[in-house]
Amino acid sequence: MRKLATLICLILITTSCSSNSDSEEVSALKEKVATLETKLTKQSEESSAWSSDYQDSWMEVCEAILEYEEEKSSKLSATKVCRCTLDGLMSAFTLKEYESWPQNVKDGAAAPYVHRCWPT
């Protein structure tokens, strides 16, 4: 039993002595991983961002479509409904995804947000 306890102590001592060099390597690897994760997140955000020019164009088209409805209802603000809808689309889809779809799919993707944003 003493031999087993001595062996365990020797293993623990050996492990703790070598952990300093390991911890330096581990720290360096953790730093590299953190740097790569930051780069990946940044690239992902950049590739999914909707440009302000595209947003402006989208808003103009949307407001033009809802202009007729706005004239009929004092509750409706085409700008508010369009902005709310666009915010929903931007949070759910990248511009690359959205732009790759035919118009009927784009309309279908926007429909739940228009419904949610429409004043009751």
Tell me the pTM.
0.60
**Which residues does the chain have with pLDDT short of 70?**
1-22, 29, 32-48
What does the alpha-carbon distance between residue 46 and residue 100 come to, in Å, rounded to a whole number?
17
- Model pLDDT, residue 93: 95
- Model pLDDT, residue 69: 83
> Can you spell out the DSSP letters for 45-60?
HHHHPPPHHHHHHHHH
- Model pLDDT, residue 73: 81
- Model pLDDT, residue 67: 87
- Model pLDDT, residue 48: 61
Amino acid at 14: T
Tokens of 86: 């666009």
Instruction: Please state the length of the chain.
Output: 120
What does the alpha-carbon distance between residue 67 and residue 77 come to, in Å, rounded to a whole number?
9
Tokens of 83: 């902005």
Beta carbons within 8 Å of 112's beta carbon, 6+ residues apart:
88
- Model pLDDT, residue 28: 72
DSSP letter (8 states) at residue 110: H
DSSP letter (8 states) at residue 93: S
What is the separation, in whole angstroms, between the first and last Cα of the chain?
79
- Model pLDDT, residue 15: 55
- Model pLDDT, residue 120: 81
Task: Spell out the domain ranges in the chain.
Answer: 1-48, 52-117
